[in-house]
Structure 1
Amino acid sequence: MIETKSVIKKVSTNEGELQILHPISFEVKPGESVAVVGASGSGKSTLLGLLAGLDEVSSGHIFLDGEPLHTMDEEARARLRGEKVGFIFQSFMLVQSLTALENIMLPAEIAGLKDAKKRAQKIIEQVGLDHRAHHFPNQLSGGEQQRVAIARAFITQPKILFADEPTGNLDSANSEKVEDLLFALNKDSDTTLVLVTHDSKLADKCDRQLTMNAGELTEHGAQLKVVSGE
């Protein structure tokens, strides 16, 4: 479902060129759940952004569901994201002028799905917020906002879901609720899940754990499945 080959990311700074990611190669199978863990500044979110097509690689190859993301311009990457990718942000990223139901509907409407409202009504019930459907984000708790964000990410039934610190802004009780919901929906949808997290409990629920350290990626455990430094 996801394949990277010798992916490198560099950025220009006042001090010169900075290499954020060193050559990274790994695969994620369809339906697999993978956690990327590591210290702040290690390159986890940068990698996630590249995999989701939110940024461009400096060199190397990324294939999403067989499509060469690394050769696409922003318009083509946006099309691919709309067709196959869902994304959950740590800061929720809800549209403040839209209700919870309208926020959930938005990706389906953009994708031109005629049953957007019906889908939204179904999934808002699944996340336990049908009684809050007509509330705006500033009327919802952090945990409720993240549940809306998760519902929004799943509404188009994406093949691949990326989550960047999905419980990072939540207390322990809400974190547990969001984690359970995320994996329940992921299982029901047979979605491939890749998430970045500092939460060891959340990472332990995934099929695999990858560790990012200073831009290099390794497999958690004795048997390496990831090849870095090619």
Structure 2
Amino acid sequence: MIKTRELTKTVPTSDGTLQILKPISFSIEAGETVAIVGASGSGKSTLLSLLAGLDTATSGEIELNGQRLDKMDEEQRATLRGQDVGFIFQAFMLVQSLTALENILLPAQIAGLENAEQHAKNILEQVGLSHRADHYPNQLSGGEQQRVAIARAFICKPKILFADEPTGNLDAENGQKVEQLLFSLNRESGTTLVLVTHDTQLAQKCDRQLIMQAGQLSEAIKQEAQRVG
């Protein structure tokens, strides 16, 4: 489903070239839930953006659902994202001039989804916000905005869902609600889920944890393997 080979990212600075990602090679199977964890500035959000085709690598290969992202131009990557990818942002990224229902409906209309409005109403009900359909983002709490963002990400039934700190801007109670919703919808849809998080409890709910340190990626040892006797 997702494969990288010797993936790197460097950017020019006034002090020379900064290497954000050192050569990274790994794979994620269809239907897996994977958490990428690490300190701020370690490169994990950069990696997520590369995997989703929101940014381009300096070198290396990215294969997404059998297609080479690194061989595509921006228009081709945008088409692939529209067909196969959902993305949930820490800052919600809702369109302020659209209602909750309209925000969810937007990607479905762009994708030409049949009965898009009914699908949007159904998924809005799934996230428990039917009564907020006509409310604008500034009339919603942070937790409600993230639930709308999750509904928007799932409406086109993406094969792969990327989430960048999905609970990072929420209090503990709303964070827990969003976690439950995210994994519930993921199970129902059979989506491959890749998320970046500082939340160790959220990370432990995933099938695997990948650790990012100073631009290098390693796999966490499963807790079950550490318990003896």
- Tell me the TM-score range normalised by the shorter chain: over 0.9
Q: Which residue of structure 2 aligns with residue 217 of structure 1?
A: 217
Superposed CA offset, 1:85-124 (max 9, x none): 0000000000000000000001101111131101100000
Mapping of residues 49-64 of structure 1, within 5 Å: 49-64=49-64
Per-residue deviation, 1:222: 6.7
Mapping of residues 118-133 of structure 1, within 5 Å: 118-133=118-133
The DSSP-based 3-state class of the residue aligned with 1:131 is: helix
Label 1:222 to 1:109 Cα distance change in 2 as closer, same or farther (>3 A): closer
Q: Which residue of structure 2 aligns with residue 16 of structure 1?
A: 16
Give, as a single letter, the amino acid of the residue that structure 1 aligns with 2:67.
E
Deviates more, 1:104-113 or 1:77-86: 104-113
Q: Which residue of structure 1 aligns with residue 33 of structure 2?
A: 33
Mapping of residues 1-230 of structure 1, within 5 Å: 1-221=1-221
Q: Percent identity?
A: 70
Give, as a single letter, the amino acid of the residue that structure 2 aligns with 1:3.
K
- The whole-number CA distance in structure 1 between the counterparts of 2:79 and 2:14 is 34
Give, as a single letter, the amino acid of the residue that structure 2 aligns with 1:126.
Q
Give, as a single letter, the amino acid of the residue that structure 1 aligns with 2:50.
L
The DSSP-based 3-state class of the residue aligned with 1:90 is: coil
- The whole-number CA distance in structure 2 between the counterparts of 1:2 and 1:84 is 12
The DSSP-based 3-state class of the residue aligned with 1:151 is: helix
Label 1:156 to 1:137 Cα distance change in 2 as closer, same or farther (>3 A): same
The DSSP-based 3-state class of the residue aligned with 1:10 is: strand
Give, as a single letter, the amino acid of the residue that structure 1 aligns with 2:179.
E
Provide the alpha-carbon RMSD of the alignment.
1.0
Label 1:222 to 1:193 Cα distance change in 2 as closer, same or farther (>3 A): closer
The DSSP-based 3-state class of the residue aligned with 1:198 is: coil
- The whole-number CA distance in structure 1 between the counterparts of 2:115 and 2:22 is 43
Superposed CA offset, 1:60-92 (max 9, x none): 000000000011010000000000000000000
The DSSP-based 3-state class of the residue aligned with 1:121 is: helix
Structure 2 unmatched ranges of 5 or more: 224-229
Per-residue deviation, 1:32: 0.2
- The whole-number CA distance in structure 2 between the counterparts of 1:216 and 1:12 is 19
Per-residue deviation, 1:30: 0.3
Q: Normalization by structure 2: what TM-score?
A: 0.96
- The whole-number CA distance in structure 2 between the counterparts of 1:12 and 1:155 is 38
Label 1:114 to 1:222 Cα distance change in 2 as closer, same or farther (>3 A): closer
Q: Normalization by structure 1: what TM-score?
A: 0.96
Give, as a single letter, the amino acid of the residue that structure 1 aligns with 2:151.
A
- The whole-number CA distance in structure 2 between the counterparts of 1:134 and 1:2 is 37
